[in-house]
Structure 1
């Protein structure tokens, strides 16, 4: 309640100060002030009318677009309904269709059990995969030579220390 009361007191004090200031103005200043306020009001009215026209145009565009979209969706639904009625695969199933489904299920079950019985796992061994090549027969790489050189130095160091 304090904030509202303070706002109202400030508003009343500002209005009183504006009233006193207005009455202290000369007649020429009063006329100039009125003309300036009238000009600003006319500009504000023009802008309001412009924005009203913009809003009206936007609303008309929205209605037209919405109407076009609803017509497109309606056409698509009608087209889908006609295709549904014409396509026998999309029609509801009958008892004869269920019998054929059951026979297909039985056939698939027979195939899956026979495949489980005869299946072999794929096993790979190195001889079949690499053609019996022995990895140890390959020439050594420079990295291996460095390791051998380090080992040789260590062994010579051990003999020198003794």
Structure 2
């Protein structure tokens, strides 16, 4: 005999025995038994409804908590995004000012070309045009030698 057939047979025989026992009781006991079973079913139904409400409340609380966290993170991301945008704008302004400054500052002329750098030695050479050319920001003024100094 399979499990399903045994379960079905046991349920039928148990149900028949319970019905026969119920019918063998007098009317007052049948009434009390019926009320006891109905009260137990009503209590079970009330508990099930209470648990369903508890589950719904817990789910709503969890949903509210998740929504609050998401809103907090959105606000945090928005604030961080605004800060980054402000910093990027400040950086753009600084770079623009630097570019303007660099365009105004004259580039000093390079006295040594690439070829001259390769052949450069440690010898000191003086170009007469550069040595005696007036410089605006230099306090060193070169004066011609007096007769006393020439010997």
TM-score with structure 1 setting the length: 0.50
Structure 2: distance between partners of 1:2 and 1:15: 20
CA distance in 2, matches of 1:47, 1:25: 30
2:8 maps to 8
Show structure 2 runs of 5+ residues with no match: 92-151
Q: Which runs of 4+ in 1 moved over 4 A?
A: none
Alignment partners' CA distance in 2, 1:2 and 1:85: 74
Cα deviations by residue, 1:93-138 (Å, 9 ceiling, x for unpaired): xxxxxxxxxxxxxxxxxxxxxxxxxxxxxxxxxxxxxxxxxxxxxx
Deviation at 1:74, TM superposition (A): 0.6
Q: State how far apart, in whole Å, the 1-side matches of 2:20 and 2:8 are.
A: 18
3-state SS of 1:87 partner: helix
Query: Aligned equivalents of 1:4 and 1:62: distance in 2?
Result: 42
Q: CA deviation at 1:87?
A: 2.3
The answer for the alignment partner of 2:57 in structure 1 is 57
Give, in whole Å, the separation in 2 of the partners of 1:85 and 1:23: 85
Distance in 2 separating the partners of 1:11 and 1:85: 74
- Greater helix fraction, Structure 1 or Structure 2: 1
- 2:17 is equivalent to residue 17 of structure 1: yes
In structure 1, C-alpha distance between the alignment counterparts of 2:23 and 2:13, rounded to whole Å: 16
Q: In the aligned structure 2, how far is the partner of 1:3 from the partner of 1:53? A: 38
Q: TM-score, normalised on structure 2?
A: 0.53
SS at structure 2 position matched to 1:60? helix
The 5 A counterparts of 1:1-162 are 2-88=2-88
Q: CA deviation at 1:53?
A: 2.0
Structure with the greater alpha carbon radius of gyration = 2
Distance 1:75 1:81 in 2: 10
In angstroms, what is the RMSD of aligned CA positions?
2.1
- Find the aligned partners of 1:7 and 1:41 in 2 and give their Cα distance: 24
Q: Secondary structure at the match of 2:75?
A: helix
Greater RCO (Cα-Cα under 8 Å, separation 6 or more) = 2
